[in-house]
Amino acid sequence: MKPTANENYKHYKGGIYKVIGVGSYMEGGDKELMKGCRQIGIGKYSEGKNEKLAVWKEGEDHFWITPQHIIGSLPAMRKLKGEDLVIYVNDEGDIWVRPLDMWNESVEVNGETLPRFERLEVAHGARTPVFGAASGRSAVSKRQRI
């Protein structure tokens, strides 16, 4: 299931995240295609220690992810080509990128099977987690403003 922009999710380890959108990986970036895009920030690849990915927005709801700073294996990053990638942010403004299949998978914790991410249902009128300037720290910098 593809998450939708602005939905809040809880990670099985307890963190709360807001989905920015779902995008596609583009190795190197097509200069002609990228003319109509604007970079919204640098994301961390969820499974890499040092891999940084540039996140680009095209139009209202399409995103592209391109390599920014790869320390690990470029072939490992190439496997992302053609995969849907979930782009999400924590309340401190850190952008993360994770393959959709991994986003949707379950994990085993102390013998219990849990979803890696669980959508938070918000009751009408309930307070939701704060992402952005109201949290005391801008969740998305001026350069990353969506």
Judge whether residue 141 has pLDDT over 70.
no
pLDDT of 67-77, one tens digit each? 775 555 555 56
Give the Cα separation of 37 and 18 in Å (integer).
Answer: 22
Predicted confidence (pLDDT) at residue 135 exceeds the cutoff of 50: no
Looking at residue 44, its pLDDT comes to 87
- The per-residue pLDDT for 106 is 96
Residue 141 lies in a domain: no
Is residue 68 in some structural domain? yes
Q: Which residue would you say has higher pLDDT here, 137 or 96? A: 96
pTM over 0.85: no
pLDDT at 26: 80
Residue 145 lies in a domain: no
By residue range, what is the domain housing residue 100? 8-135
Percent of the chain with pLDDT over 90: 38
Q: Domain for residue 37, yes or no?
A: yes
Looking at the chain, which runs of residues are DSSP E strands?
8-11, 16-25, 37-45, 52-58, 62-69, 84-90, 95-99, 106-109, 112-115, 117-119
Residue 3 lies in a domain: no
Provide the pLDDT confidence category of residue 124 given band limits of 50, 70 and 90: low
Total domain count, the chain: 1
Q: What DSSP assignment string belongs to 16-35?
A: EEEEEEEEEE-SS--HHHHT
Tell me: pLDDT of 146 over 50: no
